[in-house]
Structures are given as C-alpha cells and as structure tokens.
Structure 1
Amino acid sequence: MRSLRAALRRLLHAILLGLVGAGIVHIVVLLLVPEFSERDAWSRLSMASDLYRMNRLDAEAGGAPVVKSVDPLFYATACRFDLEEGMVRIKAPGDVPFWSVSVYDRSGHNIYSFNDHTAAGGKLDAVVLTPAQMIDVRKDLPEDLQGAIFVEAPIDEGIFVIRSFVPDESWKPIVSRFLDQSSCELQDF
C-alpha cells in the first residue's frame, strides 16, 4: 500500500513538474516571437535599401547575404515594390544558362513563378500589377510592353526575386553581370 502511494506521489510530482516546464517553455517562445518576426525577408531587404532597388542575395556580391540562399549553384537578387504607387517593371539584359523568377507578398508567400522557358526569346521582361491596373493597361497596351510577361498580383507590397544558375566558375562573372544589370522600376502608364 505504501509503495502504491509513493508511486502515485512520484507520478503526480512528475506531471506537475512537466506542466510547469511546459508553461515556462510556452512563455519563452511567446516572448521570442517578436525577435524572430522582425528578421523576415521584407525587413532584411528594407534595411538593405529602398523600394525598387535590386539587392543581391548571394555572398558573391560581397559581404554577408541579405537572405541566405539554399542552393550555392544559384545567384539571386531581389527588389521590394509597392503596387499602390503603380506597376513595377523588371528587366534583365543578357543571356544566362537558366533564370527563374518568383513574386512574393510581404509575408513571404509565393504569388507567382516563371522561368526563361516562359519568356519570349528567354529575355527577362516582366510587369507586376494589380488586377485593376491590368484592366487599365489592357485598354491601351504600350508597344514597349508587347513582349513582357504580366503578373497580376492581388497584393499591395511584394518582393520580386530573380535566381540564375551558375553551372561552373566560368559563368560566375556573366551571371553576376546579368543580376547586377537587372532593374526594378516603378512604371506610369
């Protein structure tokens, strides 16, 4: 009988100790949420530069990368934009083995992706705009936008990311030039 009571006490003590420990861990996690939420991609890019400015994301650009890249065979650049100010046009000159593009909302959710196989002639020329802006552009499409890829995004603020494949050392300067010469510009049409 005594051993049963002792075992029940130890079990109750372990359960109470586990609940107190879980409560402490829960409080610590809640207190750390603001610390981690301020380090998202949008915040890091905003500390690096203004809207409509391309920022290299790979370490090859010099210094620590703004956002860590998952694949060392890809170089990347990104720009933040605000569609409330108008449409944004992204262009990059030159030819590289492969490029891909992603449009993210401010929270980091992927809205749209495409690559060089989608683009006319493999050239990067894209316009990101809201559905309302798309209606206005369709009324009178400017001639210089005839070959552009239109990305209708139901967002206000977002991030445009260009990634390019670097197959070997000889391609590093070409891919770097491609990304460094890319542009992200506010458009008024």
Structure 2
Amino acid sequence: MGRILFWAIATVMLAGATHLAVVLFTPDISMASLIGRITAATAVNRMVVLEPEETATLVHEINPDLAYAVCPYDIVDNDLQITLEIPDTYWSISIYNERGDNIYTLNDRQAGASYLVLRLVQKASASDETLVPSLTEGNAVVVRTSSLRGVIMLRAMVPNGAYRQRIRDVLAASRCAPQARETS
C-alpha cells in the first residue's frame, strides 16, 4: 500500500510541476517565436503590411476582420520614428520587446487622431522609462524604452470585405524609419 501511495503522490507532483512549467513558460516561448518569425520574414525598421496568408503564418491570428502591418525594430544605433496614417475604423498599435513583453499600446479611442508620429527612443536611465506617454501637440508620442529590439504591430479593423483594400492602403502609407538621435 505504501509503495502505491508513494507513486501516486510522485505522479501527481510531476503532473503539477509539468502543468506549472507549461503555464509559466509557454506564453514567453510563443511570443518569442512570433517575433522571430516576423523578424526573419520582413526587413528591420521597415513597416510591412501583411497579406492574409502571411498573417496566418507569421502571427497565427485568425481574425479575418483585422488587417496587420508589422515593423521589426532595432534602436541600438538610431531612434525610430513611426509615422502612422490612421484608418477611420478601430485600430491599435502595440510595441513588443524581444522577449515578447508588450511595452506600449495605443488605440483609436485613446489617440483621437487620424495621423500620429511615434518616436521610439532608448532610455537614458532607469528613471527615464516612459510608462504612459501622452499625445503632445502635433499628435506626437515619444516612448522611452530599454528594449533595443522587438516588433511594432499595427492592427486595423476591416468593417467588411469591400473596405479591405482601402484599409490596407492606409496601413501601407505608414512608415517606420531610423532617425538620428537628438543630443542634449
């Protein structure tokens, strides 16, 4: 009886440890895999509108009501300026670091603008991190981060199939380009 109880407890503990490991590490591995796929398939510091087939392959999102544009970024040598042409439907922009952590998100309701300039800048010190930047005059946002590499993802709602090309054209007008660092 003691031997059966020992193996039952050992099995339950092993199953619990396995479950805990999957719950804790799968999201990080999954997001790192997503960033790796996007970075391998597209140019760094350049906004690319994904075709629906690419979205299914790279992003693994199956929402046909959204169009996607991505920009793998690297701000080791230069800051990055993202110029967004905003569609008149729901949209959001998210910035993910190389570990897959979401470091910044903004959507249409928060911005209230049809044009936006977002500058991604290396933070100078730990106290320099921008947690919740706000829009300034001219619809500009500066995000200060210690994440030197990652992916910027722009999503836009496609109300129906007739608007898909119009939304894609608006996303294609968005730019992601290195900018010289400002010196103080």
TM-score using structure 1 length? 0.68
Instruction: Name the SS of the counterpart of 2:57 in structure 1.
Output: coil
Could you tell me which residue of structure 2 aligns to residue 50 of structure 1?
A: 43
Within 5 A, what are the aligned runs for 1:49-88?
A: 49-57=42-50, 60=52, 64-69=56-61, 71-88=63-80
- Native 8 Å contact 2:97 2:147 kept in 1: yes
Offset at 1:97?
1.2
How far does the alpha carbon of each residue in 1:37-56 deviate from its partner, in whole angstroms, 9 at most, with x for none?
Answer: 48612211122023112344
Within 5 A, what are the aligned runs for 1:29-178?
A: 37=29, 40-57=33-50, 60=52, 64-69=56-61, 71-93=63-85, 95-119=87-111, 121-132=113-124, 146-178=138-170
Unaligned runs of 5+ in 2: 126-136
* Gap change, CA 1:61 and 1:122, over 3 Å in 2: farther
Offset at 1:105?
0.9
Offset at 1:163?
0.7
Instruction: Name the SS of the counterpart of 1:66 in structure 2.
Output: helix
Matched, 1:16 2:7: yes
Instruction: Name the SS of the counterpart of 1:111 in structure 2.
Output: strand
Larger deviation: 41-50 or 124-133?
A: 124-133
2 CA distance for matches of 1:23 and 1:62?
Answer: 39
* Gap change, CA 1:99 and 1:63, over 3 Å in 2: closer
* Gap change, CA 1:61 and 1:127, over 3 Å in 2: farther
Unaligned runs of 5+ in 1: 1-7, 134-144
RMSD over aligned Cα atoms: 3.4
Structure with greater Cα Rg: 1
